[in-house]
Structure 1
Amino acid sequence: MLPYKELARMDKLVHEPARLSILTALSACTLAEFLFLQELTGLTKGNLSSHLAKLEKANLVVIDKHFVRKKIPQTTIRITADGRSAVERHWQQLASIHEAIRKQGAHVHLSESKSIQR
């Protein structure tokens, strides 16, 4: 299969840039507070909430809403084992596709230079 076709077949839930950013950030820590994750990703509250809801529905993250000192709301998010596997697989697929494209490009480039030399 051509590597370009593989790009189109990647998991769109994970591949979407905001969700990829969220999952990648969460894969680097045990859990993150909502506001920290918002700052880290640069997403608006509404946008982050929307993407987190999709990731939670797919069982890639767990969201915990609770109160600190009985009155301060706090939302924490952690990546699940499925989420960690999905984001790791995604980055591995991207690296593999990128390498295949680079090799293909080098092959095309070598073929072109041989035809020019003749």
Structure 2
Amino acid sequence: MSVPEAETTLDPAIAARLKRTPDGLVAAVVQEHGTGDVLMLAWMDDEALHRTLSTGKATYWSRSRGEYWVKGATSGHHQRVVKVSLDCDGDALLVTVVQTGAACHTGTHTCFTDDLLEGQ
């Protein structure tokens, strides 16, 4: 399901810097403030980014449900946004949050629990 065509109030200067996927999304890497743990990867369009920046609540686009979701709205596992940074290419965001509860929908602190290679 693709992102809806909608008017957004995202600052045009920020919007101009984003390099989106063909379906209008930018990857959002979510990192825990204080620990530096990478918690999850989610997706944002212009409207989700605008909502995140204006409310301080992490808001994402759910590709599977085809709707916006505020992290913790149903689970209670909220993310208070501390900082949002854009990478040098404009195709990824780093969202630094204070995490309440588990970040992963499986109930774990981080979504990155399956190590494929661990250096020595």
Q: TM-score range by the shorter chain?
A: under 0.3
**Largest Rg, 1 or 2:** 1
Q: Larger % of helix: which? A: 1
Q: TM-score, normalised by structure 1?
A: 0.24
Q: Would you tell me which structure has more strand in proportion to its own residues?
A: 2
| TM-score when normalising by structure 2 | 0.24
